[in-house]
Structure 1
């Protein structure tokens, strides 16, 4: 099973005080990077949510967004924001020390201060369980969308692989043909120049030319890399990084083929190889 790093899922759940909606989306990233956007009263859930996502996702930039829509006229459980209260008391004492006629903050002043009262909904076991159940359900759908996209990528890569094999197969027969053509042209030129084309001289020229155009080693390495790409795709799993490395190796061999080319057809095939490999690499970079 191969998964894409691109995915999206959103689900909602009704709870006692309102409606929860959880949204997951992801894009490509070298590593796993999870960003949370949670209401303040649900911040306590972030460690547990992060742990769950870490166990089931390997790569990608993940955006996890939780929203809460309370029912109308529902009194939510609240508690005093003690850190903020301590800060207000400290500031109140500082001002009174600096200004002798300053008035102290009243209870009404404190209770009307922004964020002094906060809902502690996420601390209740029932709500904690509801949120984690919603996260798991959304995560299941999120993973399913990534797997579906990953299967499409795999099939596309296998088709590109088939095209690469066709191109490499077409290269092998051209080398003997190039040698024969070179020998024929060399003999003709020697005869036109009225130079004695003895066997030793011909043999040396042919050996030198053959060494320049020899691509057997490159073709062998290309075939090995293509076999490994196919094996990796069929094996599945978290294969993105390995496939990206193999694309670099394929591109290196294709560049070497191009540098050794003395034939229009070989040059053309080399360019087509590099185009296909670049297309594959772009798709591989979207794999987990």
Structure 2
């Protein structure tokens, strides 16, 4: 079953003094492009988080965010009273003003606010880790759901190409007869007596030149292989993209060899279906 690279997962954890919100978003990308945002106190865990996400999500442009909202009395940010008092003392010697105005000025100056770096509580981090796992599971499920939609679209478009290919196969004898007729008409127009054996040799040459039997067979095989790859237990967008390129090669060759307007119209429709497949393949993991 295929997976999309587009996904979203969110989990919220309420602790006694804080609320932890975890969000993971992903879009399509050729490789893993992972960005993380989290408070500085959790930075020591960033490498482990990156390894976990890389092992689970594999590819995509992934944004991981961990937000902390203090809901209790706990805070690691405090006013540096000694520094603020000294600032106010110096400000009184420079400007005149009431105490509130001086305090507003002092609190904006360097080192007026100090933030103590707390060590991570391992029991707390264990709970946060569970929520990170939960967010990853949610984004994986989102990707699977999106993958089902993509898979259905691929199946419909492959079926359309198969139908068009069947029409090409049914039309081919008519096209060859047309080639034969044009050659005969060309010989008649120049009103020259020709060697019948030589004419047949030339006819065979042109028919072989315009023959698309191999291309039709290879395109059928590629279409079947694409459908088989869709049913694979793992999602491999790069493999599907490669098969899509091979399908395009055969369709283009059929178009260039056909030299027959009704068949070329069918080829244009096949190309249109294949282009839509290729666009969607950019989103497949």
Q: Which runs of 5+ in 2 are unaligned?
A: 79-106
Q: Residue in 2 aligned with 1:94? A: none
| Equivalent residues of 2:3, 2:148 under 8 A apart | yes
Q: Which runs of 5+ in 1 are unaligned?
A: 80-108
Q: TM-score, normalised by structure 1?
A: 0.82
| Equivalent residues of 1:187, 1:197 under 8 A apart | no
Q: Distance in 1 between matches of 2:166 and 2:232?
A: 25
Q: CA deviation at 1:51?
A: 2.3
Q: CA deviation at 1:173?
A: 2.7
Q: CA deviation at 1:176?
A: 2.0
Question: 2:283 is matched with which residue: 276, 281, 286?
Answer: 286
Q: Residue in 1 aligned with 2:115? A: 117
Give 1:1-288 correspondences, 5 Å limit: 1-72=1-72, 74-76=73-75, 113=111, 116-120=114-118, 123-196=120-193, 198-288=195-285
Q: Distance in 1 between matches of 2:45 and 2:217?
A: 54
Q: Distance in 1 between matches of 2:175 and 2:201?
A: 16
Q: Deviations over 1:108-150 (max 9, x none)?
A: x9xx7278533425x2111211210111111111111110001
Q: Residue in 1 aligned with 2:101? A: none
Q: Distance in 2 between matches of 1:255 and 1:220?
A: 14
Q: Distance in 1 between matches of 2:113 and 2:194?
A: 98
Q: CA deviation at 1:174?
A: 2.4
SS at match of 2:280: helix
| Equivalent residues of 1:11, 1:138 under 8 A apart | yes
Q: Distance in 2 between matches of 1:180 and 1:2?
A: 44
Q: CA deviation at 1:235?
A: 1.2
| Equivalent residues of 1:18, 1:71 under 8 A apart | yes
Using a 3 Å threshold, how does the CA distance of structure 1 residues 272 and 115 change in structure 2: closer, same or farther?
farther
**How many aligned positions are there?**
255
Q: Distance in 1 between matches of 2:283 and 2:199?
A: 53
Q: Deviations over 1:160-211 (max 9, x none)?
A: 1111111111112323222223333433443454333553143123212202
Q: Distance in 2 between matches of 1:237 and 1:125?
A: 35
Using a 3 Å threshold, how does the CA distance of structure 1 residues 225 and 115 change in structure 2: closer, same or farther?
farther
SS at match of 2:116: strand
| Equivalent residues of 2:33, 2:61 under 8 A apart | yes
